[in-house]
Amino acid sequence: MSAVENLSVADPGKKRSAVRSLLRLWPYVRPVRARFGTAAAVAVVASCTGLIVPLVLKWIIDGPVAARDTAGVWWGGALLLAVGVAEAALFGLRRWLVARPLAGVEAAMRADLYQRLQRLPVAFHDRWSSGQLLSRATADLNLLRLFLVFPLTFLLVNGVTIVVGCVILLAQDWALGLLVLAPVPPLIVLCTVFSRRYAGAARTAQDQVGDLTTGVEESVLGIRIIKGFGRHRSQARAFRALSERLMGTELHKARLLGVVWGLILAVPELALGTALVLGTVQVADGALSAGTLVAFLSTALALRWPVESIGFLLAMSNEASGAADRYFEVMDEPVPPEAAGANPAPVGGRAGDGLRLEGVRFRYPDADPGAPPVLDGVDLHVRTGETVALVGATGCGKTTLTALVPRLHEVTDGRITLDGVDVAALPRAEVRARVAVAFEEPTLFSASVRENVLMGAPGAADEELWRALRVAQADGFVAALPAGADTEVGEQGLSLSGGQRQRLALARAVVGRPRFLVLDDPLSALDVHTEAKVEAALRKVLATTTALVVAHRPSTVLLADRVALLSGGRIAAVGTHEELLAASAEYRRLMAGDEARDDVAREGAL
pLDDT surpasses 90 at 382: yes
pLDDT, tens only, 246-274: 899 989 888 888 888 788 778 777 887 88
| Segment 2-9 mean pLDDT | 40
Q: State the distance between the two ends of the chain, measured CA to CA, in whole angstroms.
A: 45
Res 606: pLDDT: 35
Rounded CA-CA distance 310/136 in Å is 26
Confidence band (pLDDT; 50, 70, 90) for 350?
low
Q: Which residue would you say has higher pLDDT here, 600 or 105? A: 105
| Segment 293-317 mean pLDDT | 79
Q: Map residue 230 onto helix, strand or coil.
A: coil
Q: What CATH architecture applies to the domain 25-331?
A: Up-down Bundle (1.20)
Res 378: pLDDT: 92
pLDDT surpasses 80 at 51: no
H or E stretch covering 602 = helix 585-605
| Segment 117-138 mean pLDDT | 85
363 Ramachandran zone, left/alpha/beta (phi>0; psi -120 to 50): beta
Res 596: pLDDT: 43
* 170-179, 368-377, 503-512, 586-595: least confident range: 586-595
Q: Which residue would you say has higher pLDDT here, 13 or 38? A: 38
Q: Note whether 172 and 224 are within 8 A (CB).
A: no
Domain 355-605 belongs to what topology? Rossmann fold (3.40.50)
The overall longest dimension of the chain from CA atoms, in Å, is 120
pLDDT surpasses 70 at 13: no
pLDDT surpasses 60 at 365: yes
Q: 334-351 as b/e, with b when 16 or more CB fall inside 10 Å?
A: eebeebeeeeeeeeebee
Q: Which long-range contacts (CB under 8 A, 24 or more apart) does 237-242 make?
A: 239/212, 239/215, 242/208, 242/211, 242/212, 242/215
Res 599: pLDDT: 43
Res 597: pLDDT: 46
pLDDT, tens only, 325-347: 999 999 998 887 765 443 444 44
Q: Residue 133: name the closest of 141, 144, 121 by CA.
A: 141
Side-chain-facing half-sphere of 528: CA atoms under 13 Å: 14
| Segment 68-93 mean pLDDT | 75
Rounded CA-CA distance 216/221 in Å is 9
Res 2: pLDDT: 41
pLDDT surpasses 90 at 52: no
Res 388: pLDDT: 92
* 83-87, 249-253, 416-420: least confident range: 83-87
User: Mean of the per-residue pLDDT values for the chain?
Assistant: 81
| Segment 539-553 mean pLDDT | 86
Q: Residue 560: name the closest of 79, 569, 574, 571 by CA.
A: 574
Rounded CA-CA distance 113/129 in Å is 15
Q: Note whether 296 and 275 are within 8 A (CB).
A: yes
pLDDT surpasses 80 at 1: no
Res 516: pLDDT: 92
305 Ramachandran zone, left/alpha/beta (phi>0; psi -120 to 50): alpha
Rounded CA-CA distance 549/563 in Å is 9
Rounded CA-CA distance 578/562 in Å is 10
Res 255: pLDDT: 87
Res 351: pLDDT: 53
Q: Residue 552: name the closest of 428, 406, 393 by CA.
A: 393
Res 75: pLDDT: 77
Rounded CA-CA distance 564/583 in Å is 13
Q: Note whether 378 and 413 are within 8 A (CB).
A: no
| Segment 583-598 mean pLDDT | 73
Q: What angle, 0 to 180 degrees and rounded to 10, lies between the N-to-C axes of helices 304-331 and 232-285?
A: 150
CB atoms within 10 A of CB 108: 14
pLDDT surpasses 80 at 66: no
Q: Which amino acid would we find at residue 473?
A: Q
Alpha-carbon separation of residue 264 from 186, 222, 304, 307 (angstroms): 10, 49, 10, 7
Q: Note whether 462 and 478 are within 8 A (CB).
A: no
* 143-147, 165-169, 447-451, 474-478: least confident range: 165-169
CB atoms within 10 A of CB 144: 25
Res 598: pLDDT: 46
The domain spans of the chain are 25-331, 355-605
- Listed in sequence order, the residues at least 6 apart from 362 whose beta carbon sits closer than 8 Å to its beta carbon are 373, 374, 375, 397, 400, 401, 404, 409, 411, 412, 413
pLDDT surpasses 50 at 233: yes
* pTM of the predicted protein model: 0.72
Rounded CA-CA distance 438/453 in Å is 11
H or E stretch covering 255 = helix 232-285
| Segment 220-234 mean pLDDT | 73
